Structure 1
Amino acid sequence: MVVGAGIVGLAHAVAAVERGMSVTVVERDDHAVGASVRNFGHACITAQTGEALRFAEHARGTWLRLGEQAGFGVAECGTVVAARSGEETAALEELAELRGPDQVRLLTADETTSTAAVSAEGLHGGALLPRDLRVDQRRAAAAIAAWLTEQPGVRVLWGTPVLSVEDGLVRTGRGPLHGDHVVVCAGHDLDRIIPDAAEADGIRRCVLQMLQLRAAGLKLGPALLTGTSMLRYPALAGTEGARALRERWSEQRPELLAASVNHMLTQLPDGDLVVGDTHTYARTPEPWSSEELDELLLAETRALLGRDDLAVVRRWQGVYASADGEFLRTRVSPGVTAVAVTSGIGMTTAFGLAPTVVESLA
């Protein structure tokens, strides 16, 4: 039994089905409305390190296969990282030397503007990360859940709130459910179901402010990262260039660091841009959005693209589980395991993480 029909929960259901298990997925809402649909739809593979990189590489193949089988868009469009300072260029050069040309291809300023719709003003160059994927995040979870229900021995119970779990038992608002193993994939709401496990791992909520923008005629293509992204993604954040950039920004751009900005863009199938994001952390966050942070994202986007005609279509808050590590895997009891991606990379890694958890159950 899997609690939660977001991407992490669905990944565990897929992994279980592939190993011949019967699966019941229990979800409190009528469809996925959390982090699995509020994100960039970006599988950021190359910028990961360690276990996350291994999970991301495995997940890449699963995304491509599921996109075809379940009928949603997965594009092998890669990511362009724009460098607008010497420190950012140095960080990309360090990553290219570490990973090689198959994973990181350095770009001149002209190549960067021709590969992604970036303004040439102040641009030093960039890099293409060709192995990254673009997933249609607003369709993927629903399509995967529908595909799962077509597999033998699988059911997905929507609108079924989980009250508690124990070995072999999930108590729901619609009555008890029984099974051999329970995997709780409730994301940042793990503390609503297993508060002791969430507290022991220091789970808190990370709240993001994000925007959907309309830019007539703009064709972005790959995902687009900036210098702020170099301070967040570990393969780049560990470079000397990124460390020097953070040091300079602590004096010149403290507002970016204070808001933990990861300014990046992806493009939806209808052409609108998903733009974000800022980060605040608390166990119980305040419910208010900040117009100042939205304006910061808009100003950065106008400068990056060299366009003033960006219209805001939607604003929203994303929320994901955050902790000191990247992943939570806690065996709560012999028959109950709590799982969460606690670093905001669930789309990137879930389909690599889930097989390791399911195999451990067997």
Structure 2
Amino acid sequence: MQPQYDLIVVGGGVLGTFHAYHALERGLKVALIERDNTPQGATISNFGQIVPSGMNSKWQLFGRESLRVYKEIQQQFDISVRQEGSVYFASNPKEEQLLVELHQINKDNDYPSVLLTKKKCLNSYPGLRKDYVTSGLFFPEEIMVEPRVMINRLHKYLKAVGLVLFSNCTVIDCMALSNGIEVQCSNNKSLSAAKVIICNGTDFKTLYPKLFRESDLVVSKLQMMQTKSQQKYRLPSSIFTGRAIRSYGAFQECPSYTGMKSGEKFSSVGKKCGVQIIFKQSVDGSIILGESQQSVYVSKIDTLGTDLDMDVDNYIQQEAKRIIDLPTYEIQRRWYGLFSHCKSADVYQATIDDNIHIVTGIGRKGLTGSAGFAKANIHQIFNLRHV
């Protein structure tokens, strides 16, 4: 008996969906299995920014390919892509130096960026406080999406071009056969494929609990919030400030980064919870603010709790007000997202019985890096070396 599909992808988040997308692009017959009605994990619990500028040189290549893919799909089907760029604001001479160095690195890598004077920053970004900003670095190619809208529209688009999508379907077993893999689901559905890729941490834990426990996956809890609509106020692009400049991989390649890190001083809340201040305006005029980051190994995930830490939220608002005077800081929604990443590698990968591939733990690189990474990974898994 021949397998029904060339590939079954387990997990309908952004990482799994783009593996399905690139397999379809190569003419493969693909099924995507999502345990919920729509994805509920890290894919929808983030800002919705696609920012290769924040990545190290290796991952920026994946991010730039992701930009191309998002924009190409947007031309054919509206998945909520907005090309409004991203900007990093410096607040002191050391941060300014990092921006100058990153601008040169991106110039050498042929990735467009523009240095902004203090005057240009103040004229371009309403409400930006002159006692905070000293300069900026703008990346015009970068985009933003509405995560919940994007992933569901992306599924709709892929179904129209041949994807078979199974929603509300939990995988309970993967069995290697002589000619492929049989996938058993909780609704008594049985599917078969030449290869299976598992891109969901929850399904990884369910199917291979011992391997999951032994992995070096780390889970981070990020708190975010959303203001009420800012009415006629317009924020021209995504904004990254202060600690983002210190913590993102791209800046770690700057010559002066090490010296800057050694002289850091943060409040107890800011340091303990890894707070960095980011702004993004949604299509309804509201502003998404964040974020904090608390991390533990997967074996201790329960210690993160399910509550929001109001001290963290209050600190984020307090710091945000030092940067931009918004018309309102009244909050309409607060939430947190859980993001897993691998301690020893960029992405956690394991292969079982040759044709079952676990690919997860892409962390906060997911929305930006998944489309580009998944393309390379599909080519590797299916041995498409000529591509």
Matched, 1:336 2:356: yes
Counterpart amino acid of residue 315 in structure 1: R
1:227-266 to 2 correspondences below 5 Å = 227-250=242-265, 252-266=266-280
Identity of aligned residues (%): 20
Residues 230, 242 of structure 1: 8 Å contact kept: no
Corresponding residue SS for 1:275: strand
Q: Over aligned residue pairs, what C-alpha RMSD do you find?
A: 1.9
Is 1:173–2:183 an aligned residue pair?
A: no
Q: What is the CA distance between 1:86 and its match in structure 2? A: 1.4
Distance 1:131 1:87 in 2: 26
Matched residues in 2 for 1:218 and 1:326: separation? 38
Offset at residue 308 of structure 1 (A): 6.9
Offset at residue 102 of structure 1 (A):
5.2
- 1:25: which partner in 2? 32
> Is 1:281 matched up with 2:290?
no
Tell me by how many angstroms 1:51 deviates. 2.7
> Which residue in 1 is equivalent to 2:156?
146
Alignment of 1:19-168 (within 5 A): 19-100=26-107, 103-117=112-126, 118-152=128-162, 154-167=163-176, 168=181
Distance in structure 2 (CA, Å) of the matches to 1:67 and 1:194: 37
Letter matched to residue 284 of structure 2: D
Question: Residue deviations 1:49-76, cap 9 Å, x none?
Answer: 2331121111111000112323122122
Extract unaligned runs of 5+ from structure 2.
1-7, 383-387
Q: Deviations over 1:252-308 (max 9, x none)?
A: 534322211232111111111111111111221322220000111111111111247
**Residue deviations 1:214-271, cap 9 Å, x none?**
2343211211000111122111134354444433333x53432221123211111111
Report 1:144-223 matches (<5 A).
144-152=154-162, 154-167=163-176, 168-175=181-188, 176-187=190-201, 190-214=204-228, 215-223=230-238
Instruction: Identify which range, 158-167 or 348-357, moves more after superposition.
Output: 158-167
Q: In the alignment, which residue of structure 1 is the partner of 2:4? A: none
Q: Secondary structure at the match of 1:331?
A: strand
Q: CA deviation digits over 1:90-145, x for unaligned, max 9?
A: 11011112222852211111111233332222321111022221122221100010
Query: What secondary structure does 2:323 align onto?
Result: helix
1:212 and 1:288 map into 2 onto residues whose CA distance is 17
SS in 1 for 2:87: strand
Contact 1:188 1:203 in 2 (8 A): no
Q: Deviations over 1:30-88 (max 9, x none)?
A: 01222111111111112212331121111111000112323122122111111111111
Distance 1:187 1:65 in 2: 29
Q: Distance in 1 between matches of 2:98 and 2:347?
A: 26
**2:332 counterpart residue number:** 313
Question: Cα offset for 1:212?
Answer: 0.6
Aligned length: 360
- Stretches of structure 1 that go unaligned for 5 or more consecutive residues are none
CA distance in 1, matches of 2:86, 2:203: 31
